[in-house]
Amino acid sequence: MATEEKPTSTETASNETTITQILDVVARAAPEIRAGLPGRRIYAEQNNPSGETPMEADIYADEMLCERLGDLDGVGEYASEERQEVIDTGSGLSVCVDPLDGSSNLKPNNTLGTILAVYDAPLPAAGSDMVAAAYVLYGATTTMITAYDDTVTEYVVQDDGEYEAVREDVTLPEDPSVYGFGGRVPEWIDPFTEYVREVESDPSMKLRYGGSMIGDVNQVLTYGGIFAYPTLTDHPEGKLRVQFEGYPVGYILETAGGRSSDGEQSLMDVEKDGLHSRTPVYVGNEELIERLEAALDD
């Protein structure tokens, strides 16, 4: 029988401490990131590694999180959507950050968020290396959702960085009621379009789509339903990034009792590939994801 190297109890304990510290840094940075948004609703000068032009707010949040997370003793690597390369910060866990997901929502002043993925492996890591994930939502209030130790928790973050759990053991509601599907409709593939028409025809389902993936996923986590940024005719891999969006969102929704998929398999089983590679993303209640996979398989 092959023997896998198990972490020692000291390593496990120190990983737990580091994860707590990482979540603390992200929560405490949230009010500062939020306060820094008003003057940074303009485009930065350089494109990011995915060829998109970030807002100045993306860069601001990235620099703050890189410095503070990188300063933690137990963090060995930092990567973000805004950087081509992984930053070596010592030895320990690896963190991947989407500093401001949905930053095109800055101009119309809609919800956006910060996404965090923590891996116990060098980057790019596999879904099975994930040890915690979280996101902050800058909505009407600032909230943070964490998935760690098989539990999803929602916190409210105050202006001074203090945060308090407001919902423990968060699970997806059993009766789904919302859906949100990204990408240009003419670029959807036919089986997906047919699936969407079926979902829309259910009188208990309502459209909730804001254009910030993490805000739209939070609607699903709150009310039950399905979010997708699907395969597109010209971009079979969709738009969202595996390391920064696909894995953490899959991890959070699955920990909350839902399902995630790339159309065929759990997002957590998607090949890790390059740091900035992409995947179609489908997350939500189990029954809706099962029906979706069956529809795409036809």
With CB under 6 A as the contact rule, which of the stretches 19-27, 63-71, 96-104, 249-257 interacts with ligand FDP?
96-104
For the CB of residue 285, give the shortest distance to ligand FDP in the complex, in Å: 19
Q: How far apart are CA 296 and CA 147, in angstroms?
A: 29
Q: Of residues 103, 146, 153, 218, which one binds ligand FDP by CB under 6 A?
A: 103
231-260 residues in contact with ligand FDP (CB under 6 A) are: 239-240
With CB under 6 A as the contact rule, which of the stretches 26-34, 87-95, 99-107, 139-147 interacts with ligand FDP?
99-107
Q: Of residues 155, 179, 229, 251, which one binds ligand FDP by CB under 6 A?
A: 229
Query: Which residues are within 8 A (CB) of 267 and not within 5 positions of it... i.e. 6 or more apart?
Result: 127, 242, 246, 247, 249, 250, 260, 261, 279, 281, 283
Residue 100 annotated as part of some ligand binding site: yes
Contact status: 56 vs ligand FDP (CB under 6 A): no
Q: How far apart are CA 249 and CA 265, in angstroms?
A: 14
For the CB of residue 270, give the shortest distance to ligand FDP in the complex, in Å: 16
Q: CB of 70 within 8 A of CB of 89?
A: yes
Residue 80 annotated as part of some ligand binding site: no
Neighbours of 87 (CB within 10 A): 16
Residue 112 annotated as part of some ligand binding site: no
Residue 209 annotated as part of some ligand binding site: yes
Helix (H) or strand (E) holding 283: strand 281-284
Q: How far apart are CA 284 and CA 293, in angstroms?
A: 12
Residue 251 annotated as part of some ligand binding site: no
Order of strands across the sheet that contains 281-284:
206-207, 178-181, 225-229, 281-284, 259-261
Tokens coding 169: 């053991």
Q: Of residues 82, 101, 129, 254, which one binds ligand FDP by CB under 6 A?
A: 101
Q: Of residues 127, 182, 250, 284, which one binds ligand FDP by CB under 6 A?
A: 182
Q: CB of 59 within 8 A of CB of 42?
A: no
Footprint on this chain of ligand FDP (rule: CB under 6 A): 101-104, 182-183, 211-213, 229, 239-240
